[in-house]
């Protein structure tokens, strides 16, 4: 599974400073009218330094704020962790676990998403430049 | 085949009798009786009869599917009758099975091979043909020939309905008489003692009246009987031995009021339970001309067959090898024999396993094999410790090697490992089995032969349990139970099954996982101790030091992070939002409010003991009105305000804190409330000031982080209006002080709290609760409430009592100090948050629009307040509603 991204026509919204994001505690942002959950990882810099740009490993990831299993916009309030090497976000509502990089639901904990919703989360491209967190104007298309 | 004359309703099943697709092919088996043995028979038949050679119709007198009669007493500890159901309901939906409930068989015609079945209460009658008939009618409670047994208030103890009626009567009597109900049980056997325990669980005083010279005369010898009497007495149940009841007398209301005894004595009683034995229900067989045993019961051979080759009898109604057996294990064995025979096998009844274990909390009794040493040359090895209330005896063969039987009173922990060794040579010194667990070098490790029966209820051998692990890939006790059925009936073998499973898993190289999650191999209790000792205070340090070494980049998960947060909280490591702590919290703890289904939160200010001033109420009302919050009174005697958006929480709390309120911790795995009745200050009946104590307790334990939520209750008299026995810690006032109960809860599996200590003065009470709570906080599993913790902790309730009251582990000072530190360090976490701009920044709705409400929220009015819109309602609200504009 790879995120196929046509960056040519992508606009970027600066949502906050990297320092505004506490490592491993999500925050919600409004991007082009959409609610997005931002997560700053406990990064290679230890998550405490002021890295000016995304290193080879991403420091900030973005997925949809809408929890497909409850219909509430709460994903940024979930617990951030890892499964194996995969950075994860758990829904604060019914505790489904998602891969933060791809949005794929790794554990449905016995539930189905609400009618009309995919179990997986959409993801947004994120760049960090000059200490600013920039979020792409539309979600990444996921090729399966 | 005879069609029913009038239809018998069989809506419970997918295929009404006579309309089966296999009709004309399948042979017809009719089982009369719907008890545990009938259930086992059907289950075994469906398991083995893959070709559908038989269609089975079960005619059950009770209006429900077969249930676990052995566990009836647990119904008093708050278990729902539905929990007693046996097996899965799928069995009764099987097209080869028909269950006729609420239906009585009135006649058997062996000439034409039919039975007549009548629907209870309706009277509609059906005639069912059979190729094989199994009588599994069980027993009825024997009513002794004593005047007055038909009075209201006199009960037998046999079915769910009996137990429900008894429970209703006791509760009603307690209300009517406004004093503790006086109960008595006639009969001091196994059932009588369980009934006495049940009466006590209902809050009644109880006296056991036994005709003979000792309790449980069929199971224990004289020494055991005496130890048992002391144990029962210590539980608060009175015992009268050598007493013959001659008459039950009514009071003015016509219900039973008094018992008269042959020795001239008498006893007041509002309720009497008759538990003097059972009588096989052999009427059908008698009427059908089948041979009946000398003391009743349908005579069968070793194949469980009567003289009529088409008629069989199993369970308590069967008179096999000269006697009727009133235990479930032999009944199950008979069911298996009949199934085997019906399918062309040649099984014979292996002889009765009459091992028994009393299922009464706090009274440990077990008896198995040749308990009375009747075998020629048998040796008795006795250990009696009257002070500890322990009497244990092993019966051995004349060479003192082979185990023939035993009696264990007061400490039956060796039962599970001894019983399967019956008839086998014991390893090592047999005397070692008699010593209390943990004494000296400990018990010899038995290695059970594969063919030893571990679970006699379900006839599961040690080999089967081992195979479940090695061949069927089960990796825990739950898996093995599901796979083998071991331990699913009476449960007395579970400790042994667990040990076998653990040993087998370890042998196959699987570490038995107490691990919290993939990041920590430690259990919560182990991690708590580790963190306490190493003094680490951040998650990064803790996972680096105590987490799995092979996962260097691991950052925890939604299991271990909140556990670490809770442990750090219990150890007093600062505010929930301090530094890295903030990343560990579930959203509830993170924003200090309770997440609701639409993503908003509810807010609960503390109202200690349920007390609130008019001024306080006005502020709560104003806040709710100004922020448009839905208000509801909680079960914990305070007020919940729903629909607060994340960015509103600090504004709401600013006003609440200014008015003198503080966090109610409704969001935390921590102390919730101390519920109280109004007590002595206002109530005409109160004997102590329950509100003052509740306030004191709530202020003492507020903010204490624990493995699960904790609720307390304080009642000012025995009427128990605060429902304290439904709490983790319940305090009930007495004339002399306070009784304290522990381990109660409502919720998914309700439990009544059990008595921990009586008549304590207030300082001793508080010290006792301090230690109980701290001991729980330190040693319980993640999300384990006090009731299951008490069951699992070393020594059970008695163990907890020893630690808390007698300092048996020598940790009382430590527990006291830990609680003192908690009380000292408490600060209101909401006030602390309001004073800290960095923490307040966490309450932004959007990092780039901190005060913009979540645009997806939508509400509709209902009964004068608002509630979240349903998906259908949302469309309309969102299009027309005011929240649309914030999108711009």
Q: B867-879: per-residue pLDDT in tens?
A: 999 888 887 655 5
B582, A25: Cβ pair inside 8 Å? yes
| Alpha-carbon distances of B242 from B197, B210, B261, B823, rounded to whole Å | 20, 6, 10, 55
Confirm if B301 and B213 have CB atoms less than 8 A apart.
no
CATH of the domain at A87: 2.102.10.10
**Host domain of residue A100:** 2-47+54-143
Find the DSSP H helices in B453-513. 462-470, 477-484, 494-507
User: Hey, is B643 helix, strand or coil?
Assistant: strand
Query: How many pairs of residues across A and B have Cβ atoms under 8 Å apart?
Result: 104
A133 has pLDDT over 80: yes
Q: Distance, in angstroms, between A5 CA and closest chain B CA?
A: 25
Whole-number Å distance between alpha carbons of B627 and A107: 37
Q: Which residue of B has its CA nearest to A19?
A: B847
| Residues of chain A neighbouring B583 (CB-CB closer than 8 A) | 22-25, 79-80
Q: What rounded mean pLDDT belongs to chain A?
A: 84
Average pLDDT of B526-554? Answer: 87
Which residues, in sequence order, are bridge partners of residue B14?
none
More confident call, A14 vs B470: A14
pTM of the model: 0.56
Q: Which two tokens stand for residue B251?
A: 């009071």
Q: Mutate which of A28, A57, A91, A98 to disrupt the B interface (most B C-beta within 10 Å)?
A: A28
Average pLDDT of B608-634? Answer: 96
Whole-number Å distance between alpha carbons of B316 and B297: 8
Q: Which residue of A has its CA nearest to B559?
A: A79
User: Hey, is B722 helix, strand or coil?
Assistant: coil
pLDDT band of residue B883 (cuts 50, 70, 90) is very low
Q: Which of A16, A78, A84 sits opposite B848 (nearest CB)?
A: A16
* Chain B contact residues (CB < 8 Å to A): 518-519, 540, 551, 553-558, 560-562, 582-584, 586-587, 590-591, 595, 597-599, 646, 841-842, 844-849, 852, 854-856, 871, 887
| Residues of chain A neighbouring B586 (CB-CB closer than 8 A) | 79, 92
Q: Which of A16, A77, A82 sits opposite B555 (nearest CB)?
A: A82
* Backbone φ, ψ for residue B873 (5° rounding): -70, -30
Average pLDDT of B784-812? Answer: 87
B587, A82: Cβ pair inside 8 Å? no
Average pLDDT of B633-650? Answer: 96
More confident call, B77 vs B571: B571
| Alpha-carbon distances of B630 from B31, B577, B639, B864, B882, rounded to whole Å | 57, 27, 10, 9, 19
Q: What is the pLDDT of residue B799?
A: 87
Q: What rounded mean pLDDT belongs to chain B?
A: 86
B457 has pLDDT over 90: no
Q: What is the pLDDT of residue B14?
A: 35
Among B134-148, B372-386, B581-595, B722-736, whose mean pLDDT is lowest?
Answer: B372-386
Q: State how many domains chain A has.
A: 1
Beta pairing class for B865-868 and B859-862:
antiparallel
| Residues of chain A neighbouring B554 (CB-CB closer than 8 A) | 82
User: Hey, is B852 helix, strand or coil?
Assistant: coil
B450 has pLDDT over 50: yes
Confirm if B545 and B538 have CB atoms less than 8 A apart.
no
Q: Distance, in angstroms, between A10 CA and closest chain B CA?
A: 20
Residues 3-22 on A with a CB inside 8 Å of B are: 13, 15-16, 20-22
B846, A35: Cβ pair inside 8 Å? yes
A1 burial level (CB within 10 Å; 0-12, 13-18, 19+): exposed
Average pLDDT of B106-131? Answer: 91
Q: Which residue has the tokens 């009969």?
A: B187
B76 has pLDDT over 70: no
Q: Angle at which helices B560-570 and B524-534 pack, to 10 degrees? A: 50
Q: Does A80 touch chain B (CB under 8 A)?
A: yes
A51 has pLDDT over 70: no
Among A63-72, B42-51, B674-683, whose mean pLDDT is lowest?
Answer: B42-51
So what's the ipTM on this one?
0.90
Where do the domains of chain B lie, and which CATH numbers do they carry? 27-140+280-342 (3.50.50.60), 154-276 (3.50.50.60), 524-585 (no CATH), 586-663+828-846 (3.90.480.10), 670-827 (3.30.413.10), 855-888 (no CATH)
pLDDT band of residue A43 (cuts 50, 70, 90) is low
- What are B384-428's pLDDT values in tens digits? 887 777 888 888 888 888 888 888 888 877 787 787 788 888 877
Dihedral angle computed from the Cα positions of residues B791, B793, B799 and B802, in that order, rounded to the nearest 10 degrees: -130
Q: What is the pLDDT of residue B132?
A: 96
Q: Does A77 touch chain B (CB under 8 A)?
A: yes
Cβ within 8 Å of residue B182, ≥6 positions away: B204, B205, B207, B268, B269, B270, B271
- What are B488-507's pLDDT values in tens digits? 766 667 767 877 887 788 77
């Amino acid at each position: 599974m790879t995120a196929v991204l046509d960056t040519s026509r992508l606009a970027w919204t600066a949502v906050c400073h990297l320092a505004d994001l506490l490592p491993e505690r999500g925050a919600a942002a409004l991007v082009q009218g959409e609610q997005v959950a931002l997560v700053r990882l406990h990064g290679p810099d230890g998550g405490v330094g002021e890295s000016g740009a995304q290193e080879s490993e991403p420091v900030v990831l973005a997925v949809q704020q809408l929890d497909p299993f409850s219909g509430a916009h709460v994903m940024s309030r979930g617990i951030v962790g890892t499964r194996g090497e995969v950075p994860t976000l758990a829904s604060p509502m019914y505790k489904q676990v998602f891969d933060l990089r791809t949005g794929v639901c790794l554990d449905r904990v016995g539930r189905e998403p609400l009618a009309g919703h995919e179990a997986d989360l959409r993801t947004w491209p994120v760049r960090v430049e000059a200490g600013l967190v920039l979020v792409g104007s539309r979600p990444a298309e996921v090729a399966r | 085949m005879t069609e029913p004359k009038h239809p018998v309703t069989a809506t419970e099943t997918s295929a009404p009798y006579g309309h089966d697709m296999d009709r004309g092919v399948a042979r017809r088996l009719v089982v009369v009786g719907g008890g545990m043995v009938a259930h086992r028979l059907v289950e075994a038949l469906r398991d083995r009869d893959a070709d559908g050679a038989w269609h089975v119709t079960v005619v059950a007198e009770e209006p429900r599917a077969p249930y676990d009669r052995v566990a009836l007493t647990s119904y008093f500890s708050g278990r729902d009758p539905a929990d007693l159901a046996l097996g899965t309901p799928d069995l009764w939906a099987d097209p080869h099975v028909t269950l006729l409930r609420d239906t009585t068989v009135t006649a058997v015609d062996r000439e034409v091979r039919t039975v007549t079945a009548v629907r209870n209460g309706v009277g509609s009658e059906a005639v069912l043909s059979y190729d094989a008939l199994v009588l599994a009618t069980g027993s009825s409670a024997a009513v002794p020939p004593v005047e007055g047994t038909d009075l209201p208030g006199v009960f037998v103890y046999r079915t769910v309905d009996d137990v429900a009626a008894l429970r209703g009567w006791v509760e009603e009597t307690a209300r009517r008489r406004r004093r503790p109900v006086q109960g008595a049980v006639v009969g001091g056997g196994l059932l009588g003692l369980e009934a006495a325990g049940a009466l006590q669980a209902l809050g009644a005083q109880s006296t056991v009246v036994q005709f003979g010279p000792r309790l449980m005369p069929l199971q224990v010898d004289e020494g055991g009987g005496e130890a048992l009497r002391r144990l029962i007495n210590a539980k608060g149940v009175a015992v009268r031995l050598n007493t013959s009841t001659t008459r039950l007398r009514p009071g003015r209301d016509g219900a039973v009021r008094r018992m008269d005894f042959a020795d001239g004595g008498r006893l007041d009683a509002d309720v009497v339970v008759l538990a003097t034995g059972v009588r096989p229900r052999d009427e059908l067989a008698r009427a059908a001309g089948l041979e009946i045993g000398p003391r009743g019961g349908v005579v069968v051979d070793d194949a469980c067959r009567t003289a009529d080759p088409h008629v069989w009898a199993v369970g308590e109604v069967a008179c096999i090898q000269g006697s009727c057996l009133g235990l479930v294990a032999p009944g199950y064995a008979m069911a298996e024999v009949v199934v085997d025979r019906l399918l062309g096998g040649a099984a014979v009844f292996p002889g009765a396993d009459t091992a028994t274990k009393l299922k009464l909390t706090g009274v440990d009794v077990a008896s198995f094999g040749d308990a009375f040493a009747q075998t020629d040359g048998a040796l008795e090895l006795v250990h009696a410790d009257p002070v500890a209330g322990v009497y244990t005896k092993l019966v051995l063969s004349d060479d003192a090697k082979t185990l023939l039987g035993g009696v264990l009173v007061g400490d039956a922990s060796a039962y599970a490992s001894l019983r399967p060794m019956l008839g086998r040579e014991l390893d090592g010194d047999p005397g070692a089995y008699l010593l209390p667990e943990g004494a000296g070098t400990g018990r010899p490790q038995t290695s059970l032969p594969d063919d030893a029966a571990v679970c006699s209820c379900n006839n599961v051998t040690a080999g089967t349990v081992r195979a479940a692990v090695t061949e069927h890939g089960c990796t825990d006790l739950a898996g093995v139970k599901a796979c083998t059925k071991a331990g699913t009936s009476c449960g007395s073998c579970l400790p042994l099954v667990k040990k076998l499973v653990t040993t087998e898993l370890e042998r196959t190289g699987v570490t038995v996982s107490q691990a919290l999650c993939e990041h920590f191999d430690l259990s919560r209790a182990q991690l708590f101790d580790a963190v306490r000792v190493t003094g680490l205070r951040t998650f990064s340090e803790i996972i680096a030091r105590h987490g799995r070494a092979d996962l260097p980049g691991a950052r925890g998960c939604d299991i271990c992070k909140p556990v670490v947060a809770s442990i750090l909280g219990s150890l007093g490591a600062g505010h929930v939002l301090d530094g890295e702590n903030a990343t560990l919290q579930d959203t509830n703890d993170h924003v200090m409010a309770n997440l609701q289904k639409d993503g908003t939160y509810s807010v609960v200010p503390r109202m200690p003991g349920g007390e609130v001033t008019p001024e306080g109420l006005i502020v709560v009302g104003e806040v709710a009105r100004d922020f448009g919050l839905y208000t509801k009174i909680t079960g914990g005697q305070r007020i919940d305000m729903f629909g607060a958006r994340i960015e509103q929480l600090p504004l709401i709390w600013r006003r609440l804190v200014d008015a003198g309120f503080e966090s109610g911790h409704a969001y935390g795995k921590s102390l919730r409330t101390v519920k109280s009745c109004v007590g002595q200050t206002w109530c005409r009946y109160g004997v102590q000031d329950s509100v003052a104590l509740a306030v004191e307790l709530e202020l003492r334990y507020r903010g204490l982080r624990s493995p699960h939520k904790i609720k307390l209750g304080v009642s000012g008299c025995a009427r128990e209006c605060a429902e304290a026995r439904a709490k983790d810690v319940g305090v009930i006032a007495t004339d002399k002080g306070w009784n304290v109960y522990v381990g109660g809860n409502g919720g998914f599996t309700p439990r009544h709290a059990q008595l921990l200590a009586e008549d304590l003065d207030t300082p001793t009470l508080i010290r006792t609760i301090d230690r109980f709570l701290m001991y729980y906080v330190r040693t319980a599993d993640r999300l384990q409430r006090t009731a299951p913790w008490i069951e699992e902790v070393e020594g059970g309730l008695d163990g907890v009592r020893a630690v808390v009251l007698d300092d048996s582990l020598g940790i009382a000072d430590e527990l006291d100090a830990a609680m003192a530190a908690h009380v000292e360090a408490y600060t209101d976490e909401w006030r602390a948050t309001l004073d800290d701009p960095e923490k307040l920044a966490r309450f932004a709705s959007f990092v780039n629009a901190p005060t913009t409400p979540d645009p997806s929220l939508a509400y509709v009015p209902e009964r004068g307040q608002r509630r979240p819109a349903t998906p259908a309602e949302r469309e309309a609200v969102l299009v027309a509603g005011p929240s649309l504009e914030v999108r711009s």
